[in-house]
Structure 1
């Protein structure tokens, strides 16, 4: 006699998707370190993050098209191209805000503020689509915003840190737009297609941003190129692609909670790799933000 399998294929796939999501979020955590030590300006660094990712993404898309039993959907109408390009526009705006935030404040603080995106995703669903949420979500939102306010206050009115923190909040808002448009694009197109088109549209915007800000596009050393390649291949191709794939197989609320590993990992990486130190007040405020996001996401499902 043989025992029946204790797990269903769906449960097994869900566990695999969660593992991929956590690995992807950890890979993305390295991006804060790469940006902090980059020899180029924030916008130019963002340009190379997407531009240097393109060869791998296009290669991946070509391999996928040749080996899949069913050919992936191809964009035909103008609306299809818009759906594929829109995540890249949001991602470019996110990178401009977030990379400047990393330069003007700490990598850990910038990443923490950038990960307030789940709050803005749910607020958008409420304001634009009329979705109603449990009172617990409001409590979590208030707690998270209280933590953000404490982080802003921890800058001691230092203009540089204050601007960096505000840019971090801007990154959270624009990353929310990226996640929502990414989810829409993944409903029709494959991960390789979405990530390739995202990189193409985002690269154009980041190039314009770098040129407008007068930043150099060529790092002066081989080490500078290695940093940019690591940012593009580890964080963008590896991390963001794994997150995009996992989002298609996991509930968005559960995914958002699991991705809280990102700011936590960035904190430890920044501490051990580049010697960043946070004050006890900043650590406490960060914990409050994480708790608030966690509470809000747990209660963010629509009322039945």
Structure 2
């Protein structure tokens, strides 16, 4: 069995790469449905190409399991409702709700998969949540109408539940390889969004196509594959805590590329999240914790 440290690294890379979608979407300047559709469709095509090149083409055509088909719906729902919520309320409000998903996932895994939560795990999650709340600055009530806030909250909750479902389903041991399960989930997610793209076609120029290819390769193919591989080997509480590095990546990219300043409180919040991730990674290296996590065959 490969070292647990490899899957911690994959979880870290997945979280950081996921954070790039906002940057690519900003440059692509296309509707949310188009961006999400091409992220999933091109991600699946990149994965098929990789499987051909790496000698895994025999795994492409297989009978997918019902839960992986369902998880494709969860993936499309998470991405779509996430973007939809931002149309009605602030990014800070949406993120604050969605990133309750790792906590919910850890609690459900405690009862369903018997991944027992220890006090140190709970403390690490609490530190990450504290750091995340310090990073987020909600707008005043006057900036967004109450009706918009309510719709934004509803879409955020649905996105959070979809994200939690995605993590839990991928955490369950599977006979399928990570490549097979990722391919099914990306393809089904793209099919779920296809009707929306057909009903509202948008012209795409060469520059936008280049950004869509980047979206399909990086936050599509690589981020989802790394997440699926990590989830099949790491306890849900470990992956969930490491996922809080995504908003850190978003804040850093906003500062680096768009000159959005960071307050000392936000910097302190970033530090807390990073410390919580390091602590959770160290905890998952404990022989006792490793013996309680059930790795998949692949």
Instruction: Give the shorter-chain TM-score range.
Output: 0.7 to 0.9
Work out the CA distance in 1 between the residues paired with 2:12 and 2:53. Answer: 25
Deviations along 1:123-153, whole A, 9 cap, x unmatched? 4446878998567888888898899999999
CA contact (8 A) 1:89 1:198 kept: yes
Work out the CA distance in 2 between the residues paired with 1:168 and 1:125. Answer: 22
| 2:75 corresponds to | 91
What is the SS of the residue equivalent to 2:3? Answer: helix
What is the SS of the residue equivalent to 1:53? Answer: helix
Does 1:49 pair with 2:39? yes
| 2:251 corresponds to | 267
1:234 to 200, 205, 218: 218
| 2:286 corresponds to | none
Q: How does 1:46-195 map to 2 (within 5 A)?
A: 46-63=36-53, 66=55, 75-76=62-63, 80-103=64-87, 110-111=94-95, 113-125=97-109, 154-157=138-141, 158-159=143-144, 162=149, 163-164=151-152, 167-184=155-172, 187-195=174-182
CA contact (8 A) 1:40 1:215 kept: no
Does 1:245 pair with 2:232? no
| 1:4 corresponds to | none
Does 1:218 pair with 2:206? no
- Give 1:62 deviation, angstroms: 3.7
Work out the CA distance in 1 between the residues paired with 2:52 and 2:186. Answer: 15
- Give 1:190 deviation, angstroms: 1.1
Q: How many residues align?
A: 281
Work out the CA distance in 1 between the residues paired with 2:113 and 2:243. Answer: 24
**Could you tell me the TM-score, scaled by structure 1's length?**
0.71
Structure possessing the higher radius of gyration over alpha carbons: 1
- Give 1:102 deviation, angstroms: 4.4
What is the SS of the residue equivalent to 1:52? Answer: helix
Work out the CA distance in 2 between the residues paired with 1:274 and 1:105. Answer: 21
Aligned CA RMSD, in angstroms, stands at: 4.2
- Gaps of at least 5 residues in structure 1 are 1-9
Work out the CA distance in 2 between the residues paired with 1:215 and 1:89. Answer: 20
In 2 relative to 1, CA 188–129 (structure 1 residues): closer, same or farther, beyond 3 Å? closer
2:185 to 198, 202, 210: 198
Work out the CA distance in 2 between the residues paired with 1:171 and 1:34. Answer: 20
- Give 1:258 deviation, angstroms: 2.1
| 1:21 corresponds to | 11
- Gaps of at least 5 residues in structure 2 are 284-288, 293-298
